[in-house]
Structure 1
Amino acid sequence: MHFHFMKLAIEQANLSIPVPSGYCVGAVLVQETLRETNTVRHSNNDSTDDISSQEFEEDKDEGYADRFRVVVTGYSRELPGNTHAEECCLLKLAALGADTGSRDDYFEDDNDEDDGEGEVAPLAGTAATGAAAACNGGCGSERCNNSNGTDNNQISNRSGRKLKSRRKWIMYSTMEPCSTRLSGNRSCSDRLIASGIRQVYVGVREPDHFVKTVVGVENMVEKGIEVIHIPGLEDECLAPNRHVLDL
Protein backbone atom coordinates (compact mmCIF):
# COMPACT_ATOMS: atom_id res chain seq x y z
CA MET A 1 0.00 0.00 0.00
CA HIS A 2 2.73 2.48 0.97
CA PHE A 3 4.64 1.46 -2.15
CA HIS A 4 1.54 2.32 -4.20
CA PHE A 5 1.18 5.80 -2.69
CA MET A 6 4.86 6.54 -3.20
CA LYS A 7 4.48 5.52 -6.83
CA LEU A 8 1.71 8.13 -7.11
CA ALA A 9 4.08 10.68 -5.59
CA ILE A 10 6.72 9.76 -8.19
CA GLU A 11 4.16 10.39 -10.93
CA GLN A 12 3.66 13.83 -9.44
CA ALA A 13 7.40 14.50 -9.36
CA ASN A 14 7.59 13.75 -13.08
CA LEU A 15 5.02 16.50 -13.70
CA SER A 16 7.32 19.11 -12.23
CA ILE A 17 9.08 21.33 -14.77
CA PRO A 18 12.85 21.19 -14.13
CA VAL A 19 14.62 24.39 -13.11
CA PRO A 20 18.33 24.80 -12.35
CA SER A 21 17.61 26.13 -8.87
CA GLY A 22 15.40 23.39 -7.46
CA TYR A 23 14.44 19.75 -7.21
CA CYS A 24 11.45 18.04 -8.79
CA VAL A 25 9.53 16.45 -5.95
CA GLY A 26 6.09 14.85 -5.75
CA ALA A 27 3.83 14.45 -2.73
CA VAL A 28 0.54 12.74 -1.89
CA LEU A 29 -1.58 13.44 1.20
CA VAL A 30 -3.66 10.48 2.34
CA GLN A 31 -6.37 10.26 4.99
CA GLU A 32 -6.87 7.03 6.91
CA THR A 33 -10.02 6.43 8.95
CA LEU A 34 -9.74 4.13 11.96
CA ARG A 35 -12.72 2.81 13.92
CA GLU A 36 -13.02 2.71 17.69
CA THR A 37 -12.73 -0.95 18.64
CA ASN A 38 -12.36 -1.07 22.41
CA THR A 39 -13.74 1.29 25.04
CA VAL A 40 -12.96 0.88 28.72
CA ARG A 41 -15.61 2.36 30.98
CA HIS A 42 -15.60 2.94 34.72
CA SER A 43 -18.77 3.76 36.64
CA ASN A 44 -18.69 6.53 39.23
CA ASN A 45 -21.02 7.04 42.16
CA ASP A 46 -23.63 8.61 39.92
CA SER A 47 -23.62 5.51 37.69
CA THR A 48 -22.45 7.63 34.76
CA ASP A 49 -20.14 5.94 32.28
CA ASP A 50 -16.82 7.64 31.78
CA ILE A 51 -14.65 6.80 28.81
CA SER A 52 -11.16 6.47 30.17
CA SER A 53 -9.40 5.10 27.11
CA GLN A 54 -10.04 4.32 23.50
CA GLU A 55 -8.26 2.08 21.03
CA PHE A 56 -8.52 2.49 17.31
CA GLU A 57 -7.62 0.07 14.56
CA GLU A 58 -8.51 -0.68 10.97
CA ASP A 59 -12.06 -1.77 10.24
CA LYS A 60 -11.82 -5.44 9.28
CA ASP A 61 -14.93 -5.10 7.11
CA GLU A 62 -13.36 -2.40 4.98
CA GLY A 63 -10.69 -2.75 2.33
CA TYR A 64 -7.81 -0.39 1.72
CA ALA A 65 -9.91 1.57 -0.78
CA ASP A 66 -12.38 2.43 1.97
CA ARG A 67 -9.85 3.12 4.72
CA PHE A 68 -7.35 5.17 2.73
CA ARG A 69 -8.27 8.21 0.65
CA VAL A 70 -5.95 10.27 -1.51
CA VAL A 71 -7.10 13.76 -0.60
CA VAL A 72 -4.68 15.99 -2.52
CA THR A 73 -1.46 15.70 -4.48
CA GLY A 74 1.27 18.18 -5.30
CA TYR A 75 4.54 18.68 -7.10
CA SER A 76 7.33 21.22 -7.09
CA ARG A 77 6.27 24.64 -8.44
CA GLU A 78 2.77 23.41 -9.25
CA LEU A 79 1.26 26.50 -7.62
CA PRO A 80 2.55 30.07 -8.00
CA GLY A 81 5.34 31.27 -5.76
CA ASN A 82 8.15 28.70 -6.10
CA THR A 83 6.07 26.24 -4.09
CA HIS A 84 7.34 22.85 -2.93
CA ALA A 85 5.39 19.62 -3.31
CA GLU A 86 4.40 19.21 0.34
CA GLU A 87 3.55 22.89 0.51
CA CYS A 88 1.20 22.51 -2.47
CA CYS A 89 -0.59 19.64 -0.70
CA LEU A 90 -1.11 21.69 2.44
CA LEU A 91 -2.30 24.73 0.47
CA LYS A 92 -4.83 22.61 -1.37
CA LEU A 93 -5.98 21.01 1.85
CA ALA A 94 -6.48 24.43 3.42
CA ALA A 95 -8.45 25.51 0.36
CA LEU A 96 -10.74 22.52 0.85
CA GLY A 97 -11.43 23.70 4.37
CA ALA A 98 -10.11 20.48 5.91
CA ASP A 99 -8.08 20.37 9.09
CA THR A 100 -5.47 17.76 9.91
CA GLY A 101 -5.86 18.38 13.65
CA SER A 102 -3.82 15.88 15.64
CA ARG A 103 -3.41 12.13 15.49
CA ASP A 104 -5.64 11.76 18.54
CA ASP A 105 -8.61 13.60 17.04
CA TYR A 106 -11.78 11.59 16.63
CA PHE A 107 -15.31 12.46 15.73
CA GLU A 108 -18.74 10.95 16.21
CA ASP A 109 -21.33 10.29 13.57
CA ASP A 110 -24.62 11.95 14.53
CA ASN A 111 -26.19 11.25 11.17
CA ASP A 112 -29.28 9.09 11.65
CA GLU A 113 -29.55 8.27 7.96
CA ASP A 114 -27.74 5.30 6.49
CA ASP A 115 -26.76 5.41 2.85
CA GLY A 116 -26.68 1.62 2.86
CA GLU A 117 -23.18 1.44 1.50
CA GLY A 118 -21.22 1.41 4.74
CA GLU A 119 -18.44 3.54 3.26
CA VAL A 120 -16.49 6.47 4.58
CA ALA A 121 -17.81 9.58 2.86
CA PRO A 122 -14.95 11.06 0.83
CA LEU A 123 -13.62 14.52 1.44
CA ALA A 124 -14.64 17.14 -1.04
CA GLY A 125 -12.02 16.96 -3.76
CA THR A 126 -10.94 13.45 -2.84
CA ALA A 127 -10.56 12.58 -6.49
CA ALA A 128 -8.16 15.49 -6.90
CA THR A 129 -4.94 14.07 -8.26
CA GLY A 130 -2.18 15.34 -10.47
CA ALA A 131 -2.55 18.67 -12.23
CA ALA A 132 -6.32 18.52 -11.86
CA ALA A 133 -6.27 18.47 -8.05
CA ALA A 134 -9.37 20.27 -6.89
CA CYS A 135 -9.83 23.06 -4.39
CA ASN A 136 -12.14 26.04 -3.96
CA GLY A 137 -9.84 28.49 -5.67
CA GLY A 138 -8.15 29.70 -2.49
CA CYS A 139 -4.81 28.20 -3.39
CA GLY A 140 -4.37 30.54 -6.34
CA SER A 141 -4.06 27.88 -9.00
CA GLU A 142 -5.76 28.44 -12.33
CA ARG A 143 -6.49 24.71 -12.43
CA CYS A 144 -8.80 24.79 -9.44
CA ASN A 145 -12.50 24.42 -10.14
CA ASN A 146 -13.97 22.69 -7.11
CA SER A 147 -17.41 23.77 -5.94
CA ASN A 148 -18.32 20.72 -3.93
CA GLY A 149 -19.98 21.67 -0.66
CA THR A 150 -19.98 18.17 0.81
CA ASP A 151 -19.52 17.91 4.56
CA ASN A 152 -15.98 16.62 4.87
CA ASN A 153 -16.49 14.84 8.18
CA GLN A 154 -19.55 12.68 7.61
CA ILE A 155 -19.36 8.92 8.04
CA SER A 156 -22.18 6.58 7.15
CA ASN A 157 -23.61 4.58 10.03
CA ARG A 158 -23.94 1.04 8.74
CA SER A 159 -25.31 -0.42 12.00
CA GLY A 160 -27.56 2.42 13.11
CA ARG A 161 -25.35 3.10 16.13
CA LYS A 162 -23.11 6.05 16.78
CA LEU A 163 -19.61 5.41 15.49
CA LYS A 164 -16.39 6.98 16.60
CA SER A 165 -13.52 7.31 14.19
CA ARG A 166 -10.04 8.73 14.20
CA ARG A 167 -8.68 10.54 11.20
CA LYS A 168 -5.04 9.88 10.51
CA TRP A 169 -3.23 11.98 7.93
CA ILE A 170 -0.22 10.60 6.09
CA MET A 171 2.14 12.53 3.81
CA TYR A 172 4.09 10.69 1.12
CA SER A 173 6.99 12.59 -0.47
CA THR A 174 9.55 11.42 -2.99
CA MET A 175 12.20 13.45 -1.18
CA GLU A 176 12.78 14.41 2.44
CA PRO A 177 10.83 17.60 3.27
CA CYS A 178 13.30 20.46 3.28
CA SER A 179 14.73 21.99 6.44
CA THR A 180 16.14 25.12 4.80
CA ARG A 181 14.96 27.08 1.78
CA LEU A 182 17.44 29.33 0.04
CA SER A 183 14.54 31.59 -0.94
CA GLY A 184 13.89 32.31 2.74
CA ASN A 185 10.40 30.80 2.60
CA ARG A 186 9.18 28.53 5.39
CA SER A 187 10.60 25.04 5.13
CA CYS A 188 8.36 22.07 4.38
CA SER A 189 9.45 20.23 7.52
CA ASP A 190 8.32 23.23 9.59
CA ARG A 191 5.04 23.35 7.69
CA LEU A 192 4.39 19.67 8.39
CA ILE A 193 5.23 20.09 12.07
CA ALA A 194 2.75 22.95 12.34
CA SER A 195 0.08 21.10 10.33
CA GLY A 196 -0.52 18.35 12.89
CA ILE A 197 0.40 15.58 10.43
CA ARG A 198 2.27 12.94 12.44
CA GLN A 199 3.36 10.39 9.85
CA VAL A 200 5.55 11.07 6.81
CA TYR A 201 6.90 8.54 4.30
CA VAL A 202 9.89 9.53 2.17
CA GLY A 203 11.55 7.97 -0.86
CA VAL A 204 15.03 9.50 -0.43
CA ARG A 205 16.86 11.90 1.84
CA GLU A 206 17.42 15.34 0.34
CA PRO A 207 20.77 15.42 -1.50
CA ASP A 208 23.24 18.11 -0.38
CA HIS A 209 23.41 19.74 -3.81
CA PHE A 210 21.81 23.01 -2.68
CA VAL A 211 21.86 22.80 1.13
CA LYS A 212 24.84 21.12 2.78
CA THR A 213 23.29 20.47 6.18
CA VAL A 214 19.94 18.75 5.67
CA VAL A 215 17.97 18.01 8.83
CA GLY A 216 14.35 17.85 7.71
CA VAL A 217 13.91 14.32 9.05
CA GLU A 218 15.65 15.15 12.34
CA ASN A 219 13.48 18.25 12.86
CA MET A 220 10.27 16.31 12.30
CA VAL A 221 11.27 13.38 14.48
CA GLU A 222 12.23 15.78 17.28
CA LYS A 223 8.71 17.23 17.15
CA GLY A 224 6.99 13.85 17.33
CA ILE A 225 6.47 13.05 13.65
CA GLU A 226 7.09 9.45 12.63
CA VAL A 227 9.26 9.48 9.52
CA ILE A 228 9.56 6.25 7.53
CA HIS A 229 11.75 5.52 4.52
CA ILE A 230 10.23 3.38 1.78
CA PRO A 231 13.14 1.42 0.28
CA GLY A 232 13.51 0.29 -3.31
CA LEU A 233 12.32 3.44 -5.08
CA GLU A 234 15.37 5.66 -4.65
CA ASP A 235 16.31 5.69 -8.33
CA GLU A 236 12.78 6.57 -9.41
CA CYS A 237 12.54 9.34 -6.83
CA LEU A 238 15.84 10.86 -7.91
CA ALA A 239 15.30 10.43 -11.67
CA PRO A 240 13.31 13.67 -12.17
CA ASN A 241 16.32 15.54 -10.77
CA ARG A 242 18.89 14.60 -13.38
CA HIS A 243 19.09 18.28 -14.33
CA VAL A 244 20.80 19.13 -11.02
CA LEU A 245 22.24 15.79 -9.87
CA ASP A 246 25.02 13.75 -11.44
CA LEU A 247 22.96 10.63 -12.17
Structure 2
Amino acid sequence: MHIHFMKLAIEQAKLSIPVPSGYCVGAVLVQETLREANTNRHGNNDSIDDVTSQEFEEDKDEGYADRFRVVVTGYSRELPGNTHAEECCLLKLAALGADTGSRDDYFEDDDDEYIGEGEVALVAGTAATGAAAGCNGGCGSGRWNNSNSTDSNQNSNRSDRKLKSRRKWIMYSTMEPCSTRLSGNRSCSDRLIASGIRQVYVGVREPDHFVKTVVGVENMVEKGIEVIHIPGLEDECLAPNRHVLDL
Protein backbone atom coordinates (compact mmCIF):
# COMPACT_ATOMS: atom_id res chain seq x y z
CA MET A 1 0.00 0.00 0.00
CA HIS A 2 2.84 2.38 0.81
CA ILE A 3 4.36 1.68 -2.59
CA HIS A 4 1.00 2.55 -4.18
CA PHE A 5 0.99 6.00 -2.56
CA MET A 6 4.69 6.60 -3.24
CA LYS A 7 4.15 5.84 -6.92
CA LEU A 8 1.42 8.47 -6.94
CA ALA A 9 3.99 10.89 -5.53
CA ILE A 10 6.44 9.89 -8.27
CA GLU A 11 3.83 10.75 -10.89
CA GLN A 12 3.48 14.15 -9.25
CA ALA A 13 7.25 14.69 -9.42
CA LYS A 14 7.13 14.11 -13.16
CA LEU A 15 4.77 17.11 -13.47
CA SER A 16 7.36 19.48 -12.04
CA ILE A 17 9.07 21.68 -14.62
CA PRO A 18 12.85 21.24 -14.28
CA VAL A 19 14.90 24.27 -13.26
CA PRO A 20 18.69 24.39 -12.74
CA SER A 21 18.28 25.63 -9.17
CA GLY A 22 15.98 22.99 -7.74
CA TYR A 23 14.79 19.40 -7.55
CA CYS A 24 11.60 17.94 -8.97
CA VAL A 25 9.79 16.34 -6.05
CA GLY A 26 6.29 14.93 -5.69
CA ALA A 27 4.21 14.55 -2.53
CA VAL A 28 0.90 13.00 -1.52
CA LEU A 29 -0.94 13.69 1.73
CA VAL A 30 -3.05 10.74 2.86
CA GLN A 31 -5.73 10.72 5.55
CA GLU A 32 -6.98 7.76 7.55
CA THR A 33 -10.75 8.22 7.49
CA LEU A 34 -12.90 7.99 10.59
CA ARG A 35 -15.46 5.74 8.91
CA GLU A 36 -13.15 2.75 8.79
CA ALA A 37 -10.24 3.85 10.89
CA ASN A 38 -10.96 1.58 13.85
CA THR A 39 -12.27 -1.68 12.42
CA ASN A 40 -11.47 -3.49 9.20
CA ARG A 41 -13.74 -5.89 7.36
CA HIS A 42 -12.55 -8.77 9.57
CA GLY A 43 -13.41 -6.87 12.75
CA ASN A 44 -9.79 -6.31 13.73
CA ASN A 45 -8.31 -3.07 14.95
CA ASP A 46 -5.59 -2.76 12.34
CA SER A 47 -3.10 0.02 11.95
CA ILE A 48 -1.94 1.25 8.56
CA ASP A 49 1.08 -1.04 8.79
CA ASP A 50 -1.17 -4.10 9.27
CA VAL A 51 -2.72 -3.71 5.82
CA THR A 52 -0.86 -5.77 3.24
CA SER A 53 -0.64 -4.73 -0.40
CA GLN A 54 -2.65 -7.82 -1.36
CA GLU A 55 -5.45 -6.93 1.06
CA PHE A 56 -5.39 -3.36 -0.23
CA GLU A 57 -5.88 -4.52 -3.83
CA GLU A 58 -8.46 -7.19 -2.98
CA ASP A 59 -10.56 -4.85 -0.89
CA LYS A 60 -10.69 -1.91 -3.28
CA ASP A 61 -14.15 -2.87 -4.56
CA GLU A 62 -15.43 -3.36 -1.02
CA GLY A 63 -14.43 0.14 0.07
CA TYR A 64 -11.70 -0.97 2.46
CA ALA A 65 -9.12 1.00 0.51
CA ASP A 66 -11.16 4.12 1.25
CA ARG A 67 -9.89 3.86 4.80
CA PHE A 68 -6.82 5.69 3.53
CA ARG A 69 -7.62 8.40 1.03
CA VAL A 70 -5.54 10.91 -0.86
CA VAL A 71 -6.61 14.39 0.23
CA VAL A 72 -4.14 16.57 -1.69
CA THR A 73 -1.09 16.17 -3.90
CA GLY A 74 1.74 18.53 -4.78
CA TYR A 75 4.92 18.92 -6.76
CA SER A 76 7.84 21.30 -6.85
CA ARG A 77 6.95 24.83 -8.00
CA GLU A 78 3.32 23.88 -8.62
CA LEU A 79 2.12 26.98 -6.75
CA PRO A 80 3.61 30.49 -7.06
CA GLY A 81 6.56 31.43 -4.90
CA ASN A 82 9.17 28.73 -5.55
CA THR A 83 7.06 26.27 -3.55
CA HIS A 84 8.18 22.77 -2.63
CA ALA A 85 6.05 19.65 -3.00
CA GLU A 86 5.21 19.14 0.68
CA GLU A 87 4.57 22.85 1.08
CA CYS A 88 2.08 22.73 -1.81
CA CYS A 89 0.21 19.90 -0.10
CA LEU A 90 -0.10 21.86 3.14
CA LEU A 91 -1.18 25.04 1.35
CA LYS A 92 -3.82 23.15 -0.63
CA LEU A 93 -5.13 21.50 2.51
CA ALA A 94 -5.39 24.86 4.26
CA ALA A 95 -7.26 26.29 1.27
CA LEU A 96 -9.56 23.28 1.15
CA GLY A 97 -10.59 23.76 4.75
CA ALA A 98 -11.23 27.46 4.23
CA ASP A 99 -12.92 27.34 0.83
CA THR A 100 -15.33 24.53 1.68
CA GLY A 101 -16.27 25.93 5.04
CA SER A 102 -15.14 22.69 6.64
CA ARG A 103 -12.17 23.95 8.59
CA ASP A 104 -13.33 21.97 11.64
CA ASP A 105 -12.95 18.76 9.67
CA TYR A 106 -9.23 19.35 9.30
CA PHE A 107 -7.76 21.80 11.79
CA GLU A 108 -7.59 22.41 15.49
CA ASP A 109 -8.22 25.89 16.87
CA ASP A 110 -5.17 28.12 16.89
CA ASP A 111 -4.74 27.89 20.67
CA ASP A 112 -5.02 24.10 20.90
CA GLU A 113 -2.27 21.92 22.26
CA TYR A 114 0.37 20.30 20.09
CA ILE A 115 -1.36 17.89 17.73
CA GLY A 116 -0.79 14.15 17.56
CA GLU A 117 1.54 13.94 20.54
CA GLY A 118 1.87 10.33 21.56
CA GLU A 119 -0.45 9.06 18.83
CA VAL A 120 2.26 7.47 16.71
CA ALA A 121 4.84 5.77 18.88
CA LEU A 122 8.44 5.96 17.76
CA VAL A 123 9.94 2.66 16.76
CA ALA A 124 12.57 1.43 19.18
CA GLY A 125 16.10 1.06 17.92
CA THR A 126 18.27 3.03 15.57
CA ALA A 127 17.85 3.88 11.92
CA ALA A 128 18.83 1.32 9.36
CA THR A 129 21.56 2.61 7.10
CA GLY A 130 22.44 1.80 3.54
CA ALA A 131 23.84 3.09 0.29
CA ALA A 132 20.66 3.80 -1.64
CA ALA A 133 21.13 5.92 -4.74
CA GLY A 134 21.22 9.63 -3.99
CA CYS A 135 21.31 9.19 -0.22
CA ASN A 136 23.28 11.57 1.94
CA GLY A 137 24.41 10.20 5.26
CA GLY A 138 22.62 6.84 5.11
CA CYS A 139 19.25 5.88 3.72
CA GLY A 140 18.49 2.25 4.29
CA SER A 141 15.28 0.28 4.28
CA GLY A 142 13.64 1.08 7.58
CA ARG A 143 12.71 3.84 9.99
CA TRP A 144 14.71 6.72 11.32
CA ASN A 145 14.36 7.07 15.04
CA ASN A 146 15.65 9.16 17.93
CA SER A 147 15.12 7.45 21.24
CA ASN A 148 15.74 10.74 23.10
CA SER A 149 13.37 12.28 21.31
CA THR A 150 10.25 34.03 10.27
CA ASP A 151 9.36 32.77 6.88
CA SER A 152 9.50 35.13 3.82
CA ASN A 153 6.70 33.20 2.13
CA GLN A 154 3.42 35.05 2.59
CA ASN A 155 1.51 31.76 2.77
CA SER A 156 3.54 30.43 5.70
CA ASN A 157 0.83 30.74 8.35
CA ARG A 158 -1.71 28.92 6.23
CA SER A 159 0.60 26.00 5.54
CA ASP A 160 1.44 25.62 9.22
CA ARG A 161 -2.09 24.99 10.51
CA LYS A 162 -2.16 22.07 12.90
CA LEU A 163 -4.22 19.03 11.97
CA LYS A 164 -6.80 17.33 14.17
CA SER A 165 -5.30 14.60 16.28
CA ARG A 166 -8.36 12.37 15.87
CA ARG A 167 -7.35 11.72 12.28
CA LYS A 168 -4.14 10.07 11.14
CA TRP A 169 -2.28 12.01 8.48
CA ILE A 170 0.59 10.57 6.45
CA MET A 171 2.85 12.45 4.05
CA TYR A 172 4.49 10.58 1.18
CA SER A 173 7.35 12.40 -0.53
CA THR A 174 9.70 11.22 -3.24
CA MET A 175 12.57 13.02 -1.52
CA GLU A 176 13.42 13.84 2.07
CA PRO A 177 11.70 17.10 3.11
CA CYS A 178 14.33 19.83 3.05
CA SER A 179 16.06 21.17 6.15
CA THR A 180 17.54 24.27 4.51
CA ARG A 181 16.21 26.42 1.69
CA LEU A 182 18.68 28.61 -0.13
CA SER A 183 15.80 31.00 -0.94
CA GLY A 184 15.41 31.74 2.76
CA ASN A 185 11.87 30.34 2.91
CA ARG A 186 10.88 28.04 5.74
CA SER A 187 12.03 24.45 5.26
CA CYS A 188 9.55 21.68 4.54
CA SER A 189 10.73 19.65 7.54
CA ASP A 190 9.87 22.61 9.79
CA ARG A 191 6.49 22.99 8.11
CA LEU A 192 5.68 19.33 8.69
CA ILE A 193 6.72 19.57 12.33
CA ALA A 194 4.42 22.56 12.80
CA SER A 195 1.51 20.92 10.96
CA GLY A 196 1.13 18.05 13.39
CA ILE A 197 1.70 15.30 10.83
CA ARG A 198 3.33 12.46 12.76
CA GLN A 199 4.29 10.03 9.98
CA VAL A 200 6.32 10.70 6.83
CA TYR A 201 7.36 8.18 4.15
CA VAL A 202 10.23 9.10 1.83
CA GLY A 203 11.58 7.51 -1.33
CA VAL A 204 15.13 8.84 -1.07
CA ARG A 205 17.15 11.19 1.08
CA GLU A 206 17.99 14.60 -0.35
CA PRO A 207 21.22 14.50 -2.39
CA ASP A 208 23.92 16.97 -1.40
CA HIS A 209 23.95 18.72 -4.76
CA PHE A 210 22.65 22.07 -3.41
CA VAL A 211 22.93 21.72 0.39
CA LYS A 212 25.90 19.82 1.79
CA THR A 213 24.49 19.13 5.25
CA VAL A 214 20.99 17.71 4.94
CA VAL A 215 19.19 16.98 8.21
CA GLY A 216 15.49 17.01 7.33
CA VAL A 217 15.00 13.48 8.63
CA GLU A 218 16.92 14.18 11.82
CA ASN A 219 14.96 17.37 12.50
CA MET A 220 11.61 15.61 12.11
CA VAL A 221 12.59 12.58 14.19
CA GLU A 222 13.85 14.84 16.96
CA LYS A 223 10.40 16.43 17.13
CA GLY A 224 8.58 13.10 17.32
CA ILE A 225 7.74 12.41 13.68
CA GLU A 226 8.14 8.83 12.53
CA VAL A 227 10.10 8.87 9.27
CA ILE A 228 10.13 5.71 7.17
CA HIS A 229 12.08 4.96 4.01
CA ILE A 230 10.31 2.97 1.28
CA PRO A 231 13.04 0.92 -0.42
CA GLY A 232 13.25 -0.07 -4.05
CA LEU A 233 11.99 3.15 -5.67
CA GLU A 234 15.14 5.26 -5.42
CA ASP A 235 15.81 5.34 -9.16
CA GLU A 236 12.22 6.35 -9.94
CA CYS A 237 12.27 9.07 -7.30
CA LEU A 238 15.54 10.50 -8.60
CA ALA A 239 14.73 10.19 -12.32
CA PRO A 240 12.91 13.56 -12.60
CA ASN A 241 16.12 15.20 -11.35
CA ARG A 242 18.45 14.24 -14.18
CA HIS A 243 18.76 17.93 -15.00
CA VAL A 244 20.79 18.53 -11.82
CA LEU A 245 22.11 15.07 -10.88
CA ASP A 246 24.64 12.95 -12.72
CA LEU A 247 22.33 9.96 -13.39
When the two structures are superposed, what TM-score results if normalisation uses the length of structure 2? 0.63
1:38–1:195 Cα change, 3 Å: closer
Measure the CA separation in 2 of the matches of 1:240 and 1:47. Answer: 32
Q: Work out whether residues 153 and 186 of structure 2, in 8 Å CA contact, stay in contact via their aligned partners in 1.
A: no
Measure the CA separation in 1 of the matches of 2:50 and 2:201. Answer: 36
Q: Work out whether residues 162 and 194 of structure 2, in 8 Å CA contact, stay in contact via their aligned partners in 1.
A: no
1:163–1:100 Cα change, 3 Å: closer
1:170–1:221 Cα change, 3 Å: same
Q: Work out whether residues 71 and 126 of structure 1, in 8 Å CA contact, stay in contact via their aligned partners in 2.
A: no
1:78-104 deviation per Cα after TM superposition (whole angstroms, max 9, x unaligned): 000000000000000000117999999
Q: Secondary structure at the residue paired with 2:156? A: coil
Measure the CA separation in 2 of the matches of 1:172 and 1:197. Answer: 11
Is 1:139 the counterpart of 2:130 in the alignment? no
Q: Work out whether residues 72 and 93 of structure 2, in 8 Å CA contact, stay in contact via their aligned partners in 1.
A: yes
1:126: how far off? 36
Measure the CA separation in 1 of the matches of 2:173 and 2:229. Answer: 10
Q: Work out whether residues 112 and 157 of structure 1, in 8 Å CA contact, stay in contact via their aligned partners in 2.
A: no
1:13–1:90 Cα change, 3 Å: same
Q: Superposition RMSD on alpha carbons, in Å?
A: 16.4
1:161–1:39 Cα change, 3 Å: farther
Q: Secondary structure at the residue paired with 2:37? A: strand
Measure the CA separation in 2 of the matches of 1:136 and 1:97. Answer: 36
1:146: how far off? 40
Measure the CA separation in 1 of the matches of 2:49 and 2:6. Answer: 43
1:236: how far off? 0.1
1:143-178 deviation per Cα after TM superposition (whole angstroms, max 9, x unaligned): 999999999999999999999993100000000000
Measure the CA separation in 2 of the matches of 1:220 and 1:116. Answer: 14
Q: Which has the higher strand share?
A: 1
Residue segments in structure 2 that go unaligned for 5+ positions in a row:
none
1:160-210 deviation per Cα after TM superposition (whole angstroms, max 9, x unaligned): 999999310000000000000000000000000000000000000000000
1:129–1:26 Cα change, 3 Å: farther
1:23–1:68 Cα change, 3 Å: same
Moved more, 13-22 or 130-139: 130-139
1:83-138 deviation per Cα after TM superposition (whole angstroms, max 9, x unaligned): 00000000000001179999999999999999999999999999999999999999
Q: Secondary structure at the residue paired with 1:71? A: strand
Moved more, 80-89 or 165-174: 165-174
Measure the CA separation in 2 of the matches of 1:194 and 1:158. Answer: 11
Measure the CA separation in 2 of the matches of 1:95 and 1:125. Answer: 38
Q: Work out whether residues 101 and 196 of structure 1, in 8 Å CA contact, stay in contact via their aligned partners in 2.
A: no
Partner of 1:183: 183
Q: Secondary structure at the residue paired with 2:158? A: coil
Q: Work out whether residues 161 and 194 of structure 2, in 8 Å CA contact, stay in contact via their aligned partners in 1.
A: no
1:171–1:29 Cα change, 3 Å: same
Measure the CA separation in 1 of the matches of 2:220 and 2:229. Answer: 13
1:168–1:18 Cα change, 3 Å: same
Residue segments in structure 1 that go unaligned for 5+ positions in a row:
none
- Larger Cα-atom Rg: 1
1:161–1:43 Cα change, 3 Å: farther
Measure the CA separation in 2 of the matches of 1:215 and 1:138. Answer: 11
1:17-37 deviation per Cα after TM superposition (whole angstroms, max 9, x unaligned): 000000000000000035799
Moved more, 29-38 or 41-50: 41-50
1:66: how far off? 2.0
Moved over 3 A (4+): 34-64, 98-166
